[in-house]
């Protein structure tokens, strides 16, 4: 009897194992988070110089993994190594400076100077705007400075409140402008100062750029190592901030107390703004110049682009487009991608309203017809004149642009986000409240057979709701602005002469005393 029972048990185990194996073979592939470029099992401070192993990159340009069907294994998944590199970079950049050898619980603490905050702002490299507010700073706070050209227009040479491509601002639910700053690493500064080791041809001045062009040189920023733990290439960052109010949970954000200064000709009454405020990070672009590497022949020697945003920014549109089926998207090149999904909660840039007072989504504020197009109120809310106050459950919101996300985050990126967020939550870091929207990279061999994507980037459309609010669905320039793609937008970057390509970077254009804003809209 015992023998029979054991035989039956063995048979049952065999059947269960076979069933489990079959189920596993049919189950969706889930990408694995790689928390550190050195292969460690916890988030670390290493900012990677390159993607990790990517077995499919030689055989696929990436579209087959995104549009042609989800990968079935890591061997057929070219995108996840890029997404892991993005997360590793985001974490390493937001590590507390000076604690790089500390565990994540200390290195990713809620307060402290982040590694990226030790990098130079663009005005330290290219000089300041013609007009700035003269503000005392006895506490030596970090400064967010909105300068002007002296004619009521914000200058790009300092921090900004105009989005790139569209040249219009974004307003949060507190009725304040969203603020933007740009930084770059020492590797990029060194190249700009003396491309090819020649300071006579410096890209930091108009004269130097003229010399550079006359010499027949081409802009080629310093590329990274091919080892994730090697030397990093030229890197640029763009950070979006919103002013936090008493109703905001600052513990969910990377925050800093700053001195906000605004040039007088941008303010009602022409008095400068000198205000101490607390800001929370709502978006971050990270780009790094990658090399030409025979092992990864499908990767163009251009840049790897990553964009992150806060999870509370904005809800998904009810008809949000699917990266795996772009041909089915019905809102391409339209000014709005529709309303939020039913039951969407309030976000930093979205207020759920009843239909009688609902407004169109992703529509920029209307500029003033006299004076500065988007003038500052002297006190908060700084964008008061471009909003409509509404009361919801006893709280006053300032209704400006109602923002929704027009594209779903790629399925595998979303799964990877969940793993990173869970790991970061165990450290108590506010980074757990951010998500990777996507990673874009230049691809070789795309034949343009999969419209509406640009023919040289994976994923084809990639936008941040705080940095490219109004162009998320643009496959080409429209009345709203340029294309909603990092690669497609930056491909138009030039030196000050407006014709010499500047290797996808807009920063050399800041060498002009009054840099022109790009006019993509048509």
Segment 87-117, tens digit of pLDDT? 999 999 999 999 999 999 999 987 889 999 9
Domain boundaries, the chain: 63-351+358-497
Residue 310's H or E segment, with its range, is strand 299-310
Q: Which residues contact 332 (CB under 8 A, 6 or more apart)?
A: 321, 452, 473, 474, 475
Segment 219-263, tens digit of pLDDT? 999 999 999 999 999 999 999 999 999 999 999 999 999 999 999
Burial of residue 155, with CB atoms counted within 10 A of its CB: 0-12 exposed, 13-18 middle, 19 or more buried: buried
pLDDT value for 26:
38
Q: Greater confidence, 162 or 481?
A: 162
Q: What mean pLDDT do residues 20-25 have?
A: 32
Segment 285-306, tens digit of pLDDT? 999 999 999 888 888 899 999 9
Measured between alpha carbons, how far is 298 from 301 in angstroms, rounded to an integer? 10
Maximum mean pLDDT: which of 68-72, 159-163, 454-458: 159-163
pLDDT value for 355:
56
Segment 163-179, tens digit of pLDDT? 988 899 999 999 999 99
Burial of residue 508, with CB atoms counted within 10 A of its CB: 0-12 exposed, 13-18 middle, 19 or more buried: buried
Measured between alpha carbons, how far is 433 from 66 in angstroms, rounded to an integer? 25
The rounded percent of the chain whose pLDDT value lies above 70 is: 88
């Amino acid at each position: 009897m015992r023998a029979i029972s054991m035989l039956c048990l063995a048979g049952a185990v065999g059947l269960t194992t076979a069933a489990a194996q079959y189920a596993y073979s049919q189950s969706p592939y889930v990408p694995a988070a790689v928390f550190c470029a050195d292969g460690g099992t916890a988030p670390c401070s290493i900012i990677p110089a390159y993607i990790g192993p990517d077995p499919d990159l030689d055989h696929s340009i990436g579209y087959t993994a995104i549009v042609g069907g989800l990968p079935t294994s890591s061997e057929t998944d070219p995108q996840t190594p890029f997404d892991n590199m993005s997360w590793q970079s985001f974490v390493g950049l937001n590590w507390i400076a000076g604690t790089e050898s500390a565990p994540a619980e200390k290195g990713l603490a809620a307060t402290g100077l982040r590694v990226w905050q030790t990098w130079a702002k663009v005005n330290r490299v290219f000089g300041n705007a013609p007009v700035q507010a003269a503000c005392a700073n006895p506490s030596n706070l970090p400064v967010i400075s909105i300068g002007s050209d002296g004619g009521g227009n914000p200058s790009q040479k300092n921090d900004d409140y105009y989005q790139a491509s569209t040249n219009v601002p974004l307003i949060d639910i507190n009725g304040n402008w969203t603020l933007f700053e740009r930084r770059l690493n020492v590797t990029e500064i060194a190249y700009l100062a003396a491309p090819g080791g020649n300071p006579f041809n410096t890209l930091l001045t108009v004269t130097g750029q003229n010399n550079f062009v006359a010499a027949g040189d081409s802009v080629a920023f310093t590329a990274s190592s091919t080892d994730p733990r090697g030397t990093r290439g030229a890197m640029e960052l763009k950070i979006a901030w919103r002013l936090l109010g008493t109703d905001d949970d600052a513990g969910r954000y990377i925050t800093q107390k700053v001195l906000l200064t605004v040039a007088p000709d941008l303010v009602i009454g022409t008095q400068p703004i000198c205000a101490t405020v607390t800001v929370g990070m709502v978006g971050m672009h990270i780009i790094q110049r990658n090399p030409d590497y025979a092992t990864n022949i499908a990767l163009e020697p251009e840049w790897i682009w990553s964009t992150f945003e806060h999870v509370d920014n904005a809800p998904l549109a009810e008809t949000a487009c699917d990266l795996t089926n772009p041909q089915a998207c019905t809102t391409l090149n339209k000014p709005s991608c529709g309303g939020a999904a039913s039951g969407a909660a309030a976000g930093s840039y979205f207020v759920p309203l009843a239909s009688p007072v609902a407004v169109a989504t992703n529509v920029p504020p209307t500029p003033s017809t006299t004076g500065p197009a988007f003038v500052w109120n002297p006190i908060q809310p700084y964008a008061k004149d471009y909003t409509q106050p509404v009361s919801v459950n006893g709280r006053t919101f300032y209704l400006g642009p109602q923002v929704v996300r027009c594209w779903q985050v790629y399925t595998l990126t979303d799964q990877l986000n969940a793993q990173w967020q869970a790991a970061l939550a165990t450290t108590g870091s506010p980074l757990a409240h951010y998500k990777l929207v996507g990673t874009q990279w230049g691809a070789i061999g795309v034949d343009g057979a999969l419209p509406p994507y640009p023919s040289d980037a994976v994923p084809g459309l990639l936008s941040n709701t705080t940095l490219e609010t109004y162009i998320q669905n643009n496959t080409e320039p429209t009345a709203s602005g340029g294309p909603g793609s990092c690669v497609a937008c930056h491909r138009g970057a030039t030196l000050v002469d407006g014709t010499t390509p500047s290797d996808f970077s807009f920063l050399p254009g800041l060498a002009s005393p009054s840099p022109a804003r790009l006019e993509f809209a048509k």
